[in-house]
Structures are given as C-alpha cells and as structure tokens.
Structure 1
Amino acid sequence: MARRGVGNGEIDVRLFRGMFTALAAQALLIVALAGGVLLWNVYTSSERLIRNRDAEHLESFVALAAESAAAGKAFDRIVADLDRRDPAILGNRVALVGEGDRLLAGRAAGPALIERPVVVDGRTIARARIIAPPQLNDRDRAVMRDHYIGIGAILAGILALLLGAAYWFASRWSRPQRELLRLSHEVADGDGDIYFDERGPREIVGTMRNLRRIANRFERIETARRTWLVMIAEELREPIASLGAHLDELQEALTAEPEFKAAIEADQNRLARMAEDLHAVALADLGRLPLRFADVDPRALIHNTIYVHAKRAEAAGVRLETSNLPPYTILVKWDAERIEQLFGALIENSMRYVPRGGRIVLGLESQRDAWRLIVDDNAPGIDVGLAQQLFEPFYRANAKDTPGGSGLSLATARAIVEGHHGRIEASNSPIGGLRITVVLPATPPTA
C-alpha cells in the first residue's frame, strides 16, 4: 500500500508548534515573574537607599541646627541656610516644630517622613522633620536607568536561553509523537509493512510496537481474505459451467416447458455473473485484475451491451435506450470484454431498482483526453451522502424484487474502472433516478 504523505508535514508542524508555543508561554511567564521581582527589588532598594541618605543628611542638619541655636541663631535663618546650601537633597523639605507640633521654621508642618530631635544642653528645643518625598536628581536618574537597562538585558538573555531550550525540547519531545502519528496513519491506510526508530519514551515506543503487531496481523488477515475470495470465485466457475451443461442435457431429456427452461437459464446466468463479478472484485483487491488493452469503439460496446441485455430488460418491462452517442467512429485503447462487463454491471444494478415501464439510458460524451460513460435510470433517487456506499460489495438499498441481482454490480464496475485508471461517481439523475458517471482516459497510462 502507498504510504500517506499528503498532510503529514502540516500535522508535524502543528504538533511541534503547539508544543513549542506551550513551552514558550511558560518561558515568558518565568521571565515576567522574574522581571517583576527584580524591578520590585530595585525599586524598594532605591527607596531604602534614598531614605537612608535622607536620614544621614537630616542627622547632619540636626547637629548644625543645635550648634546654631546654641549660638543664638534664629530657626528661620537656620532653615533658610539649609535651603540655600543643600537645594538638591533636603532643600525645601525640612520643617522645625516645637511642642504641640507648632511650626517654628520651614514649610508647613505635616506628617513626618523622618524626624530627629534638636538637642541643646541635654534639652530638646525642637524637632526636625522631613515632610516631603525626595526629588530625584540627574545622578539618581542615571543610576536608575542603568539598573533598568541591566535588568532588561538580563531578562532578554534569560528569555533567549529559555526560548532556545523550548525549541530544543519541543523538537526532541515532539519527534516520537510525530513518529507515532505517522505510524497510525500508515496503519489506518492498511500498510502492514511499517518501520520506525525505537527511540523516545518507553510508553510511546511500546505503543509503536503494538501498532506494528496490529498492522502485521491486519495485513495477514486482509491478504488471506482477498486470496480466499479469488479462490472461491475460481472454484465457483467450473461447477457453474458443469451445472449449465448438465441442465442443458436435462432439459433436452425431459423436453421441459419453455418457462421452465427460461427459469433454469436465468438462474445459470445469474450464478455465472456472480462468479465473474466476485472474481473481478477479488482480483482487483489484490491488484491483479487481468486487462487486455486494444483499440475498440465504445459506441459498438454500448450497442452490444444493449443487445445482450435486451431480452431480460424486455421481460422486466424496462426500456434500454442510448443518448448523446457521437455519430462518428471512436477509437480508444480499452479492454473491450471488461468494458462490456462494466456496462452489464451498471445495467444490472439499475434493473434492480427501476420499476416496470422505467428507462435505462446509456450515453457517451467527450472530455479532453478522456470519455464520460453515463448510465441514467428513473428509479427512486438516492441520498447523496450515501452515494459512495453504493460501490461497496453486497451493498443494497431497498432494491425491488428483480431476479439476477448479486450485490456486486457497482463493486465490479469500480474494480474495472480503477483498472483502466479512471474514476466512477454516483449522483442524482436528471430523469429522476440514479446517474452513474464513469470517466476513462482514451489511452490508460499503463496500456
């Protein structure tokens, strides 16, 4: 069996992409969490450093304020000197308050961010407060910028490493999954000869081995089934032929009535058709359907088929007609015997469903380097969703009680069409029943 190739590459890419996307998402989450922690740490560390710096500067200011106050300098002048001397750090951020939080100097008193007592001769004469948050200077901003750039570079490096690791792990982990998917497709397609590289997790390798055993067992059963069908069909042909000869002798000896003779002949023909159809389907299943290609005129094949089936169609009250046959001679390279068998199978299938007074119409149309063989009938229509099931062996869909049906007609037709490298389709007929369309190349590639 041919191995499945179409679509596997796309499925493999989707499998790898899904695994890589999941790992990449986890990598992004890790980097985002780590980045958040680092940024929070940088922010809190910077805030703590600035607070410690403010506390140190406030201690220095308190010491100078105590000396100035002991020397009789007014609190207003002390704060003014601070604002002028240190505008970048404590300037305009310090207030001196007395008892009851009474403002002595500086900005309006408010909640204290940091507070230190001003002590002169062992007595607290005021309290110095920082009452406004610090304003970052250029140096602070440069330090913060360097920190953020460093953190961004570290996070980008970590993300690149994690994405590289995700790609490697996705490729490594998805490889046995892709191999398992490929094997399952081959088993589903009926390929019993499958190979795989026994690398990967133990569970997946064990599943691959089980698939191989299933495929081998299925292949043996399928080969045996097809071989049995061929043998049964071949064994049926000889006793049917012998039975026909004995029945002919019996009819002559008994001078049987015409109706009795016709019934015996119909049963014999039915058994012979069943054996031939079963033989063709079984050989096609094994890829050994014998075909003898030669130049033939399909119009002549259609007329011969109608002539052969005219008596039976007349007995069933069904008209066999032609439509759209070209008026000129056509030469194609087909197996004439098999094509007549194909038309016979299609007519037999229609006669199982067409009521008395119905029609079966055979047509032939040109299509580039091929020809379309069309068989229409006016039996009840079909469900388009079930159209492909019609070509399965022994499929029946409420056929009327017409003698001669084997359930192999359309399966036989499909086997012959595939042997000619053509295609066969079922659809609703414009005259009310089923339309079977067969497209055959004028010259099959292997002819």
Structure 2
Amino acid sequence: MGKLFWKFFIVIWLALLTMGGSMGGAFWLQRNAVLNANGASRNQPQIAADPAAPYLSTASLIVNKGGIDGLRSFLAESRHNPAMPPIFAIDDVGKDVLGREVAPNILAQAKSLAASHSTGVRRIKTDEGQSYLLFALYSDNNSARNPKQLHPDPPPPWLPITLGFFISLIFSGVSAWYFAKPIRQLQSAFSAVARGDLDTRAGQIMSQRHDELADLGKSFDYMVSQIQLSVNAQQRLLHDVSHELRSPLARIQTAIGLAYQQPDKIPLTLERIEKESQRMNDLIGELLAISRLEAGVIGKLEMIDINELLSEIVEDARLEADSKHVGIDLNIAGEIFLQGYYDLLSRAIENVLRNAVKYTRRHSKVSVNAKLCASGHQLHIDITDQGPGVAETELSAIFDPFFRGSHHQTSQGIGLGLTIALKALETHHGKIKVGNRAEGGLKVEIMLPAA
C-alpha cells in the first residue's frame, strides 16, 4: 500500500471515529439524564391502578363479610406476602387502619382518583356507616411488588465501542482502497508512457467508474494520444527531411565527381551545385519557419488592410504567372481589415496563390476573391485555379509536410508551402479547406475572423 492509501485511510478513519464518538457521547449523556430522572421518579411510591384491582376487590369482599376487623387482619397478613403490593385503608380523617404513615401527596392523589372513579382506588362503607379509601402502592425499590415490566440492563460500554472500532476500521480500509486504486493505476500508466510506451491507456481500466477520477483517466488517454500523434509526426518529418536533404547532397556529390573527370565543364557543374545548394537553403528556411510557428515566435500583432495585402501578393505572383501566360483576377468586396501578423498572413496566402499558379494550365486564369460573410465577422478568401486538381484520396493529406500529389513530377517545389499556410492560419484562429471544382481545378477556401 502506498502513502496515499494510508493518508486516505487515516483521514476517513479519524473522521468516522470522531463522528461516532461525538454521537455516542451525546447519546450516553442524554440516556444518563433520562435514567437519572426516571430513577428519581421510581423511588417515589405510586398508586397502582389496574394491576391492583384484584387485591382491592378481595379487600372489599372481606369488609362486607368480616367488617373492619377482617380487613385489618387481611392487610396485616398481606404485608408479609412479597407478591402483593402494600394495600392501604384510609378513614375519613386520613388515618390508615394499621396506623401506617401516608404521605399527604399520596392521600390527595387517592382522593382525586376516587372522585374520578378510577379502578385504582375503591371507596367502601362498613355496616357501622364508616367510609374508607382502599388503594395499593408500589415502588421500584421493591421489584417483587413492582407490577410493571422491568427494562433489561444496557450492554457494557466496551461492546459498542469495540464494534464501532472494527466497523470503522473496515469501512475506512475499503474507502481508502477505492480512492487509491485508480491513482495507482494512473501512476503505472504515467510510468509506462515515460518509458516510451505510447500505446498505454488508463480510461479502459477505470471504465466502470463514473466520477472525476474516471474523467481524469479519459483526459490522460487524450493527452497520450496527442503526444503519440505529435511524436509520429515528428518522426515522419525527420524521415522526410532526411530524404529531402539526401537528394540534393547526392546530386552535389555527383556534380563534384564530374568536375574532377571533366574539368572543361566546371562552370556548368558549379551552376548545378549552386542550384542544389539553394534548394537545401530553401528547405532549411521552410523548416525554420515551421519551427518558429510551433514555438509561437510570430511577430507583432497589428491591423491589416486586406485590400493592400492581397494587391501586393497578387502583383508579386504575376511575375511568375506571366511566364506561363497565366492571368490572375483579384476581386475584393469593399474595404476589409483584420487584426493579425502581417508577414505571417502574407506568407500563408502567397504560398496558396503560388501553388495555384504553379499547377494551373498554361494560358489559363487563377481567381482570388475576398469578401466578408453576411454577419461581417468572418473573412472568406477563395483561390481557384484551372489545373488538374488533386485526387480525392489525397485531399486529406495535402497539408502534410513534403506532400506530393500525383502531378508532382511537373513541380520542383519543396512541399512545405501548404503546411506553413495551415499553421499560419491556425495562429490567426482561421481555417483552410480544399476541394476539387466540378469544372476542373482546385479551390482553396481561407476563413479568418474579421476585425
């Protein structure tokens, strides 16, 4: 068991013991108060009601048959019978026939009961005309004469204390185990991920739970999935970069070998080496741009005039488009502004536009349309070309680093332009979508939040 289990265990156990002790102490104090009150009342003699009725009937018959002397004899003999309660016969002046002392409150209670015709008190008259009150007294001090049922003695105090101790012990252990188990499972899962096992998942292990710990397991699974995707992407990028760098390096080595064999062609060889070196430099520059985007090095936020930005990008792209006799149509609906990073957004749109110019047919057109949506909160920029488009099976991978479509043989590009565009637009909380046009060519939709 780990430290967390014992912390849970001790806290829950102490809480249960404190609660149980407080409730038990309060109950014990209340019970003692009730017992003391009941004990004080039981020490006082009370007039027996229904339980004494048979004895009072017997005494009445004796008076009718034997007179007051017979009653006196009967009462004297009953004093020696532990099964009978003490019976009193009080005359009109408040004297008992046996001369026993009767408390004034008992005498008053007897007269009150007689007036209400209670069965616990009988009023009799002798032949001589004398009147007597008959009643029986009982006291808890004399258990043999107590007509009421006695309560059993309470159990010794150590019994409930011991029972509560062991019950709280078991409950605390189960509760601590219930809370500590998923945390131990998460700890094992974290250790497995730290060792490089990115297939580890914790949510399935805690699938039967429906609490915050189960949610924590699902969050752990999501985190590991994202790490796995990131690691796989980095590995693919490393593989692609190695491949892309290996090709120009191999061509440079070949050119150097030809220069040694054919010194007369050194100028052509140097030109080839310069071209491949520039290709490597461009590749490294694109990789650095992606790295800066992922690291959050994006420059200064400013208000951008979209009309000015698009006009500048289109004007620069026309130099490349003219060599293919390709026209670029720019349509902007009104004045549009947004908050963003000028250089970053310019590079993203420029990469998309140059990609369209590169793949469109010769003697065709590329269209650039910009407008705000009906609500005015989102900017839409559509860039369409008249090229061969992209196979439907390849559209989902078009933004992957070093992606080459089925028509890449006509292009000398690096394959990172759309990747940079995607990351730049995500930095602006924007989106980019691609799709083939029904009339041919590719359509790229850029959506950005407007100012």
TM-score between both structures, scaled by the size of structure 2: 0.40
TM-score between both structures, scaled by the size of structure 1: 0.41
